[in-house]
């Protein structure tokens, strides 16, 4: 079937995540297969505003499926939030004949897509964020690799905590969401996991659990704290959620926790198999949407299947924790420790 678009752009926006390159590669290769021109847009929406673009072909995406980061660079664009910025981006599209844009990022990126589509440019979003906090999709590119990076680091920490009989407080990324912390907490057998989605009480959920573990003859404790666990911007910036919990533990229990903020390490590294394959399937799907004349779509992963959803509806789906993981964690913490 003939494609509805002749030339499309591709960009990455917001925080990068492992697998974004695999998605870019899939977009380019699928477009070429369909006879569609692809323009790479550098530094997210900023590149569309300033015309920082280049022609892409099979050569430009060769040997990137295994690379972390994004070859297109990424940014969070304040200018694109303004009417003026959006007009400049549309002007670039008109000048270059870009009829559709595939944008890889989080829900902020999708809101940018909607702004562009109001000016007649077709848009498709691909979820790419280690936070896995986009309500419409069960999976966003980079989550599994980031989780495995965190798990490997925490396993190493456990070795030394065990030797020294210490308490470890590990702060995990996720912005306002606790998905990554919850998942990592299950995989590492943490003593405590604190996430922003659940109200928690320091005495009951931290101090008493450490005491119970100690009474069960454990002499090291692993406390996983989502960076947004306090739901408080100030704490998130300074001292940080991990440091805050450590201070409370020190004051209440008289032990000296060691704090590790995993930070941006979780965003880097080679994507694992799940992220490479999911990104490739999503990139393919996004181009098929545009070629089929669709616009305002978000590519989603639901129950193992790739599908697409209206972007406004997708943005309206509230983010939530994975309910079954949530229940499992409750049981694991209750029984083992
Ligand atoms: O959204 C991805 C993410 O890594 C969040 O987990 C984190 O809060 C934020 O980005 C950090 O952003 P920056 O790279 O601007 O420090």
Query: Where are the alpha helices (H) located in the chain, listed in sequence order?
Result: 20-33, 45-50, 83-96, 107-117, 143-164, 179-188, 208-215, 233-237, 241-253, 273-291, 311-316, 323-336
How far is Cα 80 from Cα 93, in angstroms, rounded to an integer?
14
- Relative to the CA of 130, which ligand 1 atom is closest? 2
Query: How many angstroms separate the alpha carbon of residue 229 from the centre of ligand 1?
Result: 15
pLDDT at 334: 57
Is this structure's pTM higher than 0.85? yes
131 Cβ closer than 6 Å to some ligand 1 atom: yes
Query: How many angstroms separate the alpha carbon of residue 275 from the centre of ligand 1?
Result: 18
Residue to substitute in 105, 175, 228, 240 for testing ligand 1 pocket (most ligand atoms within 8 angstroms of CB): 175
175 Cβ closer than 6 Å to some ligand 1 atom: yes
Please enumerate in sequence order all residues whose Cβ is within 8 A of that of 142, keeping only pairs 6 or more positions apart, or say none.
16, 17, 18, 19, 20, 128, 129, 130, 267, 271, 275
174 Cβ closer than 6 Å to some ligand 1 atom: yes
Instruction: Summarize pLDDT for 224-256 with one digit per residue, the tens.
Output: 999 999 999 999 999 999 999 999 999 999 999
pLDDT at 190: 97
Residue 131 known to be catalytic: yes
Going from the first residue of the chain to its last (337 residues), give the mean pLDDT of each consecutive group of 10, the final group possibly shorter: 96 98 99 98 98 98 98 97 97 98 97 95 98 98 98 98 98 98 98 97 97 96 98 95 98 98 98 98 98 98 97 97 90 64
267 Cβ closer than 6 Å to some ligand 1 atom: yes
- Relative to the CA of 228, which ligand 1 atom is closest? 8
Query: How many angstroms separate the alpha carbon of residue 111 from the centre of ligand 1?
Result: 17
Nearest CA to ligand 1 atom 10: 15
Nearest CA to ligand 1 atom 14: 15
Residue to substitute in 15, 17, 233 for testing ligand 1 pocket (most ligand atoms within 8 angstroms of CB): 15
How far is Cα 101 from Cα 98, in angstroms, rounded to an integer?
7
Annotated catalytic residue within 131, 133, 308, 326: 131
Please enumerate in sequence order all residues whose Cβ is within 8 A of that of 336, keeping only pairs 6 or more positions apart, or say none.
189
Nearest CA to ligand 1 atom 13: 15
| Phi, psi torsion values for 165, nearest 5 degrees | 55, 55
For helices 83-96 and 107-117, angle between their N-to-C axes, nearest 10 degrees: 70
Nearest CA to ligand 1 atom 9: 175
Instruction: Summarize pLDDT for 128-176 with one digit per residue, the tens.
Output: 999 999 999 999 999 999 999 999 999 999 999 999 999 999 999 999 9
173 Cβ closer than 6 Å to some ligand 1 atom: yes
For helices 143-164 and 179-188, angle between their N-to-C axes, nearest 10 degrees: 50
Query: How many angstroms separate the alpha carbon of residue 15 from the centre of ligand 1?
Result: 6
């Amino acid at each position: 079937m003939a494609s509805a678009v002749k030339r499309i752009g591709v960009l990455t926006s917001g925080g990068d995540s492992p697998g974004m390159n695999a998605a870019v590669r899939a977009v380019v290769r699928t477009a070429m297969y369909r006879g569609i021109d692809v323009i790479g847009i550098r530094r997210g929406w900023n590149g569309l505003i300033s015309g920082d673009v280049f022609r892409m072909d099979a050569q430009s995406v060769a040997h990137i499926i295994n690379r972390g980061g994004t070859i297109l660079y990424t940014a969070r664009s304040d200018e694109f939030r303004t009417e003026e910025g959006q007009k400049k981006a549309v002007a670039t599209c008109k000048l270059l004949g870009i009829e559709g844009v595939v944008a890889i990022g989080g829900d902020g990126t999708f809101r940018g897509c909607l702004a562009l589509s109001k000016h007649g440019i077709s848009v498709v979003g691909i979820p790419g964020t280690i936070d896995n906090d986009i309500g419409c999709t069960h999976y966003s590119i980079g989550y599994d690799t980031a989780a495995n990076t965190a798990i490997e680091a925490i396993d190493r920490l456990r070795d030394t905590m065990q030797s020294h009989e210490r308490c470890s407080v590990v702060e995990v990324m996720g912005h306002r969401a606790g998905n990554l912390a919850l998942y990592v907490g299950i995989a590492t057998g943490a003593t405590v996991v604190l996430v922003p989605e659940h109200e928690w009480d320091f005495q009951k959920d931290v101090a008493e659990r450490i005491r119970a573990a100690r009474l069960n003859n454990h002499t090291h404790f692993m406390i996983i704290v989502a960076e947004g666990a306090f739901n408080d911007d100030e704490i998130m910036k300074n001292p940080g959620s991990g440091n805050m919990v450590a201070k409370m533990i020190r004051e209440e229990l008289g032990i000296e926790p060691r704090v590790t903020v995993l930070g941006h390490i979780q965003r880097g590294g080679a994507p694992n198999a799940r992220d490479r394959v999911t990104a490739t399937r999503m990139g393919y799907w996004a181009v098929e949407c545009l070629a089929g004349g669709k616009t305002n779509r978000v590519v989603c992963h639901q129950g193992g299947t790739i599908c697409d959803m209206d972007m406004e509806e997708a943005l309206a789906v509230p983010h939530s924790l994975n309910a079954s993981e949530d229940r499992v964690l409750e049981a694991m913490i209750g029984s083992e420790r």
